[in-house]
Amino acid sequence: MRVTKSRSFAKAWSYRVFGTLTSFIVVYIITGQAILATAIAFWETVLKIGVYYWHERIWDKVQWGRK
């Protein structure tokens, strides 16, 4: 069974949305401040996209586990 690029993109998008919502909810529960929760969720998303990109680029150079 072949997985399409659009399916992979949809899964990545939904995963990121749920992660961002989780961050928002946790910060809001702890602080009670919707503006702070929104700011943290936004920056968390931006930073994690960058971290994921570099993580993938580094792993692309690792030969371990490839055949």
Contact 27, 42 (CB under 8 A): no
User: In sequence order, which residues have a C-beta less than 8 Å from that of residue 44 and are 6 or more positions away?
Assistant: 19, 20, 23
Distance, in Å, from the CA atom of 15 to the CA atom of 31, rounded to the nearest integer, reads 24
pTM of the model: 0.74
- Quote the mean pLDDT of the chain: 92
Q: Is 90 exceeded by the pLDDT of residue 28?
A: yes
DSSP SS3 for 16: helix
Interval 47-56 mean pLDDT: 89
pLDDT value of residue 34: 98
Contact 23, 46 (CB under 8 A): no
